[in-house]
Structure 1
Amino acid sequence: MKSMKNLALLLVMGILVVFAAACGGGETKETNTGDGNGEATEETALEGSVVIDGSGTVYPFMAKMAENYMTENEEVSVEVSRAGTSAGFKKFLAENGTDFNNASRHIKEEETALADDLGIEVKEFQVALDGLTFVINKDNDWATEMTQEDVVKIFLAEGGVTKWSDINPEWPAEEIKPMGPNENHGTNEFMFETIMEEKDFIDSVNLQQEYSTLVDLVSKDKNAIAFFGYGYYDSNKDKLGAVNVDFGKGPIAPSLETIGLDEEAAYSPFTRPVFTYLNVGLAKEKPQVLDYAIYAMENAQTVATETGFAPLKDEAIQESISYLEGLK
């Protein structure tokens, strides 16, 4: 009888263990730092918000990243806006600022100084490579190839180019309509500071806040030419053409294969890195922000190619991930 009672007791205990396991089926994570004694404790699923603003160029990349992340982490809301690089830094470097700022240029000295004044620790992460692309109307069949010097002259006040025939006498003697993103965008600053060597824009240039506006304007005017990141051209190839630029070795079409910073990359003179900047203090305070940062770098190469950017090399990605893992 005693053995029968022991058997029954074991059966009951087994049922209770199975029941307890079934009730504990919610998503949890284990950590070895929870109780200070090195023993595993349970951590609840991630929740809360992640707030990102900044570059319109980087927006498609980060919006896709956020969409993918929220599919896997339904309790976290990732908000991605596109005020522009400079406008985004103003929101990022403020009390109760954003968690990330996307940028199509490096942070400026005065922005770094402001971060120091506010006690904000900022970390730069390169996420992809972009190629500055000059887009034209689909009906423009004459300016499909230009030298680097000629395409830049169109936007320079001192360039001496106002009509297509000023570049090539065989082209139409019609007024060129130059366009681009306004000063809120890092793309504008890259064009002005790096490509135009800080020389003034021509007075007739039409600078816009929204990239979608530029796409629409160029698609409706055969004499229009605009500059912006390759990704926006890539997603609007049905509406726009692109100038193949001759950097001295023949015309090069912007593409994921030609964009790169290495000397072997044919489109390298118009290539630039693009970034996201992290508020390190907020990443340490909010688990969802750090988790998103790690996720973004782990998936940066895949999302880059899906959104019109050239991916970074493995070493650069791993270096960023290692830094972020060290913040845990």
Structure 2
Amino acid sequence: MKFKNYLLLITAVVMALVLAACGGSGDSSEDAAAGESASGASSEASEEDTELDGSVVIDGSGTVYPLMARLAEEYMTNEQPQVSVEVSRAGTSAGFERFLAEDGTDFNDASRPIKDEELAKAEELGFEPLEMKMALDGLTIVINPENDWAAELTEQEVKDIFLADSGITTWSDVNPEWPDEEITKVGPNENHGTYEFFYENILEEQDIDPNANLQQEYSTLVNLVAEDKNAIGFFGFGYYDSNQDKLEAVDVDFGEGPVEPSLETIAEDGPYANFTRPVFTYLNPDMAKKKAQVYDYAVYVMNHVNEFAGETGFAPIPEEEVQAQLEEIEALN
């Protein structure tokens, strides 16, 4: 009887140990599963937790402004609503002054390439600006809609109208059959890359007529031409394109017949090539490394710039150029 009781006791102990072992294994599996679930949730939350905040500060070209402002609007609306992208338009040269200052802007839009002296200033500040080519623009010569005589001009006639020493003051000086009326010449002032492009590339660094009315605001230039039958002006295609109800574009003859500025003719090797130029934004790479929102916005710009170029008056750049620039930006991260 005692032996039987001893066997029963041994059996009970073994069963208890087995049950304990099974219970422990079950608890361990549940704990592991819970751990995996928590880890998965954490990973998922980490992937989704990409909301950024802070600001991105941009200044520079009035020509590039409509395109950059459109990109900024889309970014803040659809990508990062907590990020404030501030886009100003002091002009290319004035913008570079802000960009190349202590605590300068994150980007500078430019309707001309950065100059050697500006690169030297950036070097003094300890950084090398990253050039981001955004689109192609066609410098457009505009006249009042009531002007029915100068709808076509040769490239040389455009130059002569604006040159200081050409002696051109009236329309009849250009063509004796045209009105003997004084020409009102208008354009952007020296703060703008468009002025510098016109002076350097079209006038070949010859002085512009000192009587030309040079203005800071493009809206002012639009109104000056729209309100004066004898006015002629120059600026980027986008400002003409968005004001076609007020202005007429001059078809320019570069030697093979008049060419109308359009998104199709504005190309580096197209028929309007003599008046075509790339436009840029320049990124301070140090800001992209320090501020996640600046890096993120730079990537967004190059991913979407061709999407909005046409609707803001610019011809898009080739996709391979976009991808090459994206790689440069992504290398900063």
> Shared fold (TM-score greater than 0.5)?
yes
Cα shift at 1:121: 2.3
Cα shift at 1:203: 1.8
What is aligned with 1:39?
Answer: none
C-alpha distance in structure 2 between counterparts of 1:243 and 1:27, whole Å: 57
What secondary structure sits across from 2:293 in the alignment?
A: helix
2:272 to 267, 272, 278: 267
What is aligned with 1:35?
Answer: none
C-alpha distance in structure 1 between counterparts of 2:94 and 2:45, whole Å: 38
1:142 to 142, 149, 166: 149
C-alpha distance in structure 2 between counterparts of 1:211 and 1:119, whole Å: 34
Asked if structure 1 preserves the Cα contact closer than 8 Å seen for 2:119 and 2:128, the reply is no
Of structures 1 and 2, the larger Rg is shown by 2
Alignment of 1:85 with 2:92, yes or no, is yes
What is aligned with 2:209?
Answer: 202
Unaligned runs of 5+ in 2: 1-19
What is aligned with 1:180?
Answer: 187
Cα shift at 1:28: 4.7
Cα shift at 1:302: 1.2
What secondary structure sits across from 2:131 in the alignment?
A: strand
1:168 to 169, 175, 197: 175
What is aligned with 1:29?
Answer: 47
C-alpha distance in structure 2 between counterparts of 1:168 and 1:26, whole Å: 72
C-alpha distance in structure 1 between counterparts of 2:46 and 2:277, whole Å: 40
What is aligned with 1:124?
Answer: 131
Cα distance, 1:52–1:142 mapped onto 2, change above 3 Å: same
Matches within 5 A, 1:37-116: 44-71=50-77, 72-116=79-123
Cα distance, 1:25–1:211 mapped onto 2, change above 3 Å: farther
Cα shift at 1:29: 3.0
Query: Quick one: percent identity of the two aligned structures?
Result: 61
Length, aligned pairs only: 312
**Bigger mean CA offset, 90-99 vs 152-161:** 152-161
What is aligned with 1:217?
Answer: 224
Alignment of 1:281 with 2:299, yes or no, is no
Asked if structure 2 preserves the Cα contact closer than 8 Å seen for 1:27 and 1:44, the reply is no
Cα shift at 1:100: 0.1
C-alpha distance in structure 1 between counterparts of 2:212 and 2:66, whole Å: 25
What is aligned with 1:189?
Answer: 196
What secondary structure sits across from 2:169 in the alignment?
A: coil
Unaligned runs of 5+ in 1: 31-42
What is aligned with 1:256?
Answer: 263
Larger helix proportion, structure 1 or 2?
Answer: 2
What is aligned with 1:37?
Answer: none
C-alpha distance in structure 2 between counterparts of 1:28 and 1:235, whole Å: 43
Q: Which amino acid aligns with 2:314?
A: F
> Deviations for 1:82-140, whole angstroms, at most 9, x for unmatched residues?
00000000000011100000000111111111111111221111100000000100111
Q: Which amino acid aligns with 1:50?
A: V
What secondary structure sits across from 2:182 in the alignment?
A: coil
What is aligned with 2:317?
Answer: 312
Q: CA RMSD in A?
A: 2.6
What secondary structure sits across from 1:126 in the alignment?
A: strand
Cα distance, 1:25–1:167 mapped onto 2, change above 3 Å: same
Q: Which amino acid aligns with 1:283?
A: A
